Amino acid sequence: MIFDLEYASARVRVLRSKLLKDTTKQEIRDSKTKEELIANLDNTAYEAMFASKDIDEIEHNFNNHLIETLEKVTSFLPKRYAEDFEKYLKRFDLKNLKIIIRGIHADMNLKDIKEDLTGYGKIQKMAEETDRLTLETLENRLENTLWYQAYKEGLTNYKKTQKVLDLEHPLDKAYMDQLEKIETEPVKEFTKRYKRMIDIKTIARLKDKADEYLFLPDEKKETLDITEKDTGTLETHTRKALLIDPFGIGVYIEFMFRKEMETLLIKSILRRVWK
């Protein structure tokens, strides 16, 4: 059993060594053109993502790469961690729910919404199996899932305000509840820091309208000017809580968190420079 933990930990360390260095991330942030972005990702795990010149296909390649990495980690994850790791991975269901909600809110057709999904999770499969989705039919589809009560609450709020955030926030809380069910100290600390990270971003975005959407409302609230560099610092502080135990589940969550964050960073710059 100890050998299994050491072997799996060594495997994830190899994957971590292939993550982008801080200097490369800064070069990506500083990219002014698509040529610069591609050059800055040369000789990284992402250079093959640009085989196509179509931005939608490129984003699809990034999504596929992230899911392939996730499946690789799952293949050697110690069985003792499988149940808790799946709780963390509910974030992909959450992301897909938000994509569907925002797509319906924006009157997108279902085909385009499906193309934007992450490619992983139960919500992905649910969407693939349906030919019609409205906010009301989505509620029915979510019955008997962990998202049902949160979605029902959010939909009631949304109908009053027509604000997507009022529909999404209860779903965010439902996901945080899943994280809090992982009973290890590193993950508990990560969850607290993660809530704070999300709160800081919410305050920066909504200013004095943020209060009702905060996870830690009793902490000091400040309107902060969050730059891309500040966001990177926040993410580093948040994920480091997971590395206290070198053989614990936190090691796998920390890697996937970093992989997802750097993928989101690249995609955000991609949209900015691709012309």
Which position has the higher pLDDT, 196 or 156?
Answer: 156
pLDDT score of 229 more than 80 = no
Which position has the higher pLDDT, 225 or 68?
Answer: 68
Helix%, strand%, coil% for the chain, nearest 5: 75, 0, 25
What's the token pair of residue 95? 């992301």
User: Which segment of 65-79, 108-122, 216-230 scores lowest on mean pLDDT?
Assistant: 216-230
What's the whole-number mean pLDDT along residues 271-275? 89
Taking the C-alpha atoms of residue 95 and residue 90, their distance in angstroms, rounded to an integer, is 9
Confidence of residue 237 (pLDDT cuts 50, 70, 90): confident
Q: Is 275 exposed, middle or buried (0-12, 13-18, 19+ CB in 10 A)?
A: exposed
Taking the model in full, what pTM does it have?
0.91
What's the token pair of residue 59? 């984003």
Taking the C-alpha atoms of residue 258 and residue 261, their distance in angstroms, rounded to an integer, is 5
What's the token pair of residue 237? 């502080």
What's the token pair of residue 34? 């698509």
pLDDT digits (tens, 9 = 90+) for 145-170: 999 999 999 999 999 999 999 999 99
Average pLDDT over the chain reads 92
What's the whole-number mean pLDDT along residues 129-154? 96
pLDDT digits (tens, 9 = 90+) for 197-227: 898 888 888 888 888 999 988 765 554 444 5
- Of 121, 158, 153, 244, nearest in space to 193 by CA: 244
pLDDT digits (tens, 9 = 90+) for 85-97: 999 999 999 999 9
Q: What residue segments make up the domains of the chain, in order of their start?
A: 2-273
Residue 228: what pLDDT? Answer: 45
CB atoms within 10 A of CB 162: 10
Residue 270: what pLDDT? Answer: 95
Residue 1: what pLDDT? Answer: 54
Which position has the higher pLDDT, 194 or 221?
Answer: 194
Residue 114: what pLDDT? Answer: 95
